[in-house]
């Protein structure tokens, strides 16, 4: 059996390289774990924002029905103008909440695209086209949450 003794400096260099390799592997694993957490959080955010939007749509529809019913009651003399005005105010508030929820949903979708690295693909952006300064396809439309029945 023949043994080969490495000089002390070579052994130190090898130990340093081995340590650097392990540190880099740990760094990469931490990055992978962080990406997984970011994507999962963004997905949860999209689901919550979609549910809020759907609830806001239902709230607006309910306020429209309430206003319609009270306008009919007013025509029959069964309610007051004040009540109809309050219903109109409530409908406006519900419509504003719907718009805010839709904006929050769009923001959550963008955050998911960023976290998953899908921003360019989901907006039909071709890297070569963007680099050349010309765009063949327009962006994809804003995602819409389908109302539940």
- Summarize pLDDT for 39-75 with one digit per residue, the tens: 999 999 999 999 999 999 999 999 999 999 999 999 9
CB-neighbour burial class of residue 122 (10 A; exposed 0-12, middle 13-18, buried 19+): middle
pTM: 0.78
Please choose, from the candidates 44, 27, 45, 18, the residue with its C-alpha nearest in 3D space to the C-alpha of residue 101.
45
The CA-atom distances, in angstroms, between 25 and each of 21, 29, 31 are 6, 6, 10
Please indicate whether residue 119 or residue 147 has the higher confidence score (pLDDT).
119
Interval 67-125: pLDDT, tens: 999 999 999 999 999 999 999 999 999 999 999 999 999 999 999 999 999 998 888 88
Q: Are 138 and 124 in contact (CB under 8 A)?
A: yes
The arithmetic mean of pLDDT across residues 18-33, rounded, is 98
């Amino acid at each position: 059996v023949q043994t080969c003794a490495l000089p002390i400096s070579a052994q130190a260099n090898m130990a340093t390289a081995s340590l650097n390799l392990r540190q880099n592997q740990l760094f990469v694993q931490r990055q992978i774990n962080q990406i997984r957490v970011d994507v999962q959080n963004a997905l949860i955010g999209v689901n919550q924002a979609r549910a809020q939007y759907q609830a806001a749509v239902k709230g607006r529809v309910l306020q429209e029905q309430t206003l319609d019913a009270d306008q009919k009651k007013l025509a029959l003399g069964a309610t007051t103008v004040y009540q109809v005005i309050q219903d109109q105010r409530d409908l406006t508030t519900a419509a504003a909440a719907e718009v805010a929820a839709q904006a929050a949903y769009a923001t959550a979708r963008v955050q998911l695209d960023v976290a998953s690295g899908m921003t360019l693909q989901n907006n039909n952006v071709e890297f070569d086209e963007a680099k050349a300064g010309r765009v063949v396809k327009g962006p994809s439309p804003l995602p819409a949450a389908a109302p539940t029945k």
